[in-house]
Chains A and B, each alone.
Chain A
Amino acid sequence: MMIIIGLSCEGQLYAKMEIVYVYTKKRSEFGRQCNFSDRPAELHVDILPDPSLAANFTVRDPCNVTMQCAEEMSEHEVNTERFESESRGINHVEGGWPKDLNPEDMEATIRYRKKVEKDEHYQNTIMQIAGLMEHCSKQNNATDIYQDFFDDEVEEEVVEESEEEPSAKTINVFRDPNEVKRTATSLSWHPDGNHKLAVAYSSLEFQKAPNDMSFDSYIWDIENHNKPEMTLKPVCPLVCLEYNPKDSHILVGGSYNGQIAYWDTRKGSQPVEMSTIEHSHRDPVYKVIWLQSKTGMDIFSASTDGQVLWWDIRKLSEPTERLVLDPSKKWNLDNALGAISLEFETTMPTKFMVGTEQGLVVSCNRKAKTPAEKIVCTYSGHHGPIYALQRNPFFPKNFLTVADWTARIWSEDIKESSIMWTKYHMAHLLDGCWSPVRPSVFFTVKMDGTLDVWDILFKQNDPTLSLKVCDEALYSIRVQDNGRYLGCGSQLGTTTLLEISSGLCTLQKNEKALVSEMFERETKREKILESRHREMRLKERSRSEQSREDETKDADGEESTEELVARAETEFFHMLEAEKTKERNEEKERDMEKGVCEEKDFQEEHETNGEVASFTRGEISL
């Protein structure tokens, strides 16, 4: 009995127990030599292919086989531990005097020198090299061998309007060196040369700051991202930090507990002076700005406790002036709006603006006669705290606000609404600023870590360039004065330095004119709308004074929008009904041809959209 296990030509493994081969031998013949005989081949088994089995398989055509005629290589990554190195120099102090000579001893040195001078070899040598030296020295006086020719021509080069796409590149990333990461809440560029960036770190989440969180803020040199150039050690984490634009050694910071402190980088990491707690703010100081004054030592600060305080940094024990942001102008602190951002333009030193937590922008006049008149007007329109507020550097009448999910551009004259605004984004916008070189470009950062570059001359609905800088929220952004580099700080303390393409930071021709036209146009539109609203309101008021029926008419008038909606709905349902009846007629025809239900469903799915199909199917099932 033999069990045969074989592979058929269809690739099927099978086992059969049918074929038997029997072999007999006489016992007496055991051990005898083998007598082999030749005989022709005998067919024992012939297993024919079974075509019915082929039905279980489909032909694969074409067959894709990948091959590569190359060496097999594997990829391996290695990351070494960071090696910290510092550059140091040696200063040579005193020459190689012979051993027996004491270099301090003046006489001995003079004697030695005189001895050398008498040496003949010395004299010959000096004569020789002095001759050579004279030649070169005269050469220098003859012509300037390093003169730059064609310098003027370089300046005349026309800046082509390149067709390149706007882009931005990350140049450097500065990470918070502490274990516990804090948010980089504010950035400030060094006023001269822009080689340094001061970053304020703090944790803005209320009472979530862990106990061992460090309070330090850092000044980074943009070339060296391994170690901050200088550490600032405040008593309490800093929420905002600003360089003095007149004196680049002085920085002022507003801290989380409401105090103001100022540092002099020449004097070390500790603050030179801090404001007294009793006279400081009662909430974190969200913004500090340097004022334009003769002494260059004045600042003003804003905080969510509703106060705007003016200080002279030389005397931080008491603020020099105080303003309470009470919209009812009664200086009632309880009513006051919390301030989150400040705006000050050096060309208009008496005016300033405050962005509040409640979404209002308050415009104030510092030189008002009575305290009540300090608040000039308010602009409303935002739903949440106004994180950034900045006037356009080229058109100071227009300013940008960044709050909740939008960024808006306003004109000073229109108080009811902004003249231009972006659409509502998916993530909160947390900070923004204008480009200092191009009037139509501004930047915003969002909570999902994206940086948007907007060019309102190019596209108004979407950002011209949208970059994902990091995975966590970006809290602050600051552009350098040349408009080319910008720094943005994130929630985990990572500050990223980006360079934007030259198209976005060179002034295009006619740009100023076009932007001013755009702003004027939008302002006019808003003015017209505003006046129209006023007219309508007046009409309503006059009507309501006449009779009650007028009021209901007004109610109808208001409901007209609802009516419109209802009308749209009924129209839609009519359309649906029409479709349904059409379907049903077609089905009846089909039914008469074939009686297959499946095909009906099939065709329904194909012909109608999902909702209508479900409608009809539901109907049929009913």
Chain B
Amino acid sequence: MAEVDETMKRLQNQKGVQGIIIVNAEGIPIKSTLDNASTVQYAGNIHQLLMKARGIVRDIDPQNDLTFLRIRSKKNEVMIAPDKDYFLIVIQNPTE
């Protein structure tokens, strides 16, 4: 558990990182560095997106699977690392 916290702290201290959220398979945010409202919003929406993205990848090639998802927007970048039971969301402001 300490290792998890340490990893999270390391990630948080990376340059430009605005927030980290860990969500479980049901969409419940387990840990988050953002406020509740944003957390819930991110968790819910990204969960749906992740399902869809994974579905697409496996549709095209059933042997394939989604390893990472990046959404680059005008203001920041949302990075999602999915796994079977949990997924990790990091919101970062990339260097210009």
**Chain A residues in contact with chain B, CB under 8 A?**
91-98, 112-113, 116-118, 121-123, 125-134, 136-138, 140-141, 144, 146
Contacts and interface: CB of A to CB of B under 8 A. Distances in A.
B30 A117 contact: yes
Interface string B1-12: 101100110110
A438 B85 CA distance: 62
Nearest to A141: B15
A130 B88 contact: yes
B40 A123 contact: no
Given A126-B4, A133-B90, A134-B14, A116 B77 contact: no
Interface residues of B, number: 45
Contact of A94 (B22, B40, B86): B40
- Count chain B CB atoms within 10 A of each CB in A93, A118, A121, A130 and give the residue with the most: A130
A341 B26 CA distance: 65
Contacts of B41: 91-92
A551 to B, nearest CB: 82
Contacts of A129: 81-83, 86-88
Contacts of B82: 129
A95 B3 CA distance: 26
A136 B72 CA distance: 13
A116 B25 CA distance: 12
A113 B29 CA distance: 8
B27 A122 contact: no
A16 to B, nearest CB: 86
A84 B93 CA distance: 40
Given A95-B26, A96-B26, A117-B4, A132 B68 contact: yes
B77 A140 contact: yes
- Count chain B CB atoms within 10 A of each CB in A95, A96, A141 and give the residue with the most: A95
B4 A121 contact: no
Nearest to A116: B30
Given A126-B88, A127-B7, A141-B95, A92 B22 contact: no
A136 B1 contact: no
- Count chain A CB atoms within 10 A of each CB in B85, B86, B87 and give the residue with the most: B86
B30 A144 contact: no
A133 B79 contact: yes
Interface in B11-49: 11, 14-17, 22-24, 26-31, 40-41, 43-45, 48
B68 A136 contact: yes
A123 B87 contact: no
Given A136-B81, A137-B14, 12 more contacts: A92-B27, A92-B41, A92-B45, A95-B44, A96-B26, A117-B31, A127-B3, A132-B67, A134-B10, A136-B70, A140-B16, A144-B95
B30 to A, nearest CB: 5
Given A95-B26, A95-B29, A95-B44, A123 B79 contact: no
Contacts of B11: 130, 133-134, 137
Given A136-B70, A144-B95, A125 B85 contact: yes
Contacts, number: 108
Contact of B44 (A92, A118, A128, A144): A92
Interface string B60-96: 0000000110101000010101111111101010111
Contacts of B23: 95
Contact of B3 (A123, A137, A141, A144): A123
B70 A126 contact: no
Contact of B79 (A91, A118, A122, A136): A136
Given A126-B22, A136-B79, A92 B40 contact: yes
Contacts of A125: 83-86
A66 B15 CA distance: 78
B86 to A, nearest CB: 5
Given A95-B28, A96-B27, A96-B28, A137 B90 contact: yes
A91 B41 CA distance: 8
A352 B39 CA distance: 57
A138 B14 contact: yes
B24 A116 contact: yes
A117 B1 contact: yes
Nearest to A137: B14
B7 A137 contact: no
Given A129-B88, A136-B79, A141 B4 contact: no
Contacts of A95: 23, 26-29, 40, 43-44
18 contacts: A92-B27, A92-B40, A92-B44, A94-B40, A96-B28, A97-B26, A97-B28, A113-B30, A117-B1, A122-B85, A129-B87, A130-B81, A132-B68, A133-B88, A134-B11, A136-B79, A140-B77, A146-B72
Contact of A141 (B16, B45, B68): B16
Nearest to B10: A134
B1 A118 contact: yes
A126 B11 CA distance: 12
A123 B15 CA distance: 24
A93 B68 CA distance: 25
Nearest to B17: A137
Contacts of A97: 26, 28
A118 B29 CA distance: 15
Contacts of A133: 11, 79, 81, 88, 90
Contact of B92 (A112, A113, A137): A137
A434 to B, nearest CB: 36
Query: Which 3 residue pairs of A and B lie closest in terms of their CB atoms, listed nearest first?
Result: A92-B44, A96-B26, A129-B81
- Count chain B CB atoms within 10 A of each CB in A92, A121, A133, A144 and give the residue with the most: A133
B67 A126 contact: no
A201 to B, nearest CB: 38
Contacts of A128: 83
Nearest to B29: A95
Contacts of B40: 92-95
B53 to A, nearest CB: 15
Nearest to B46: A92
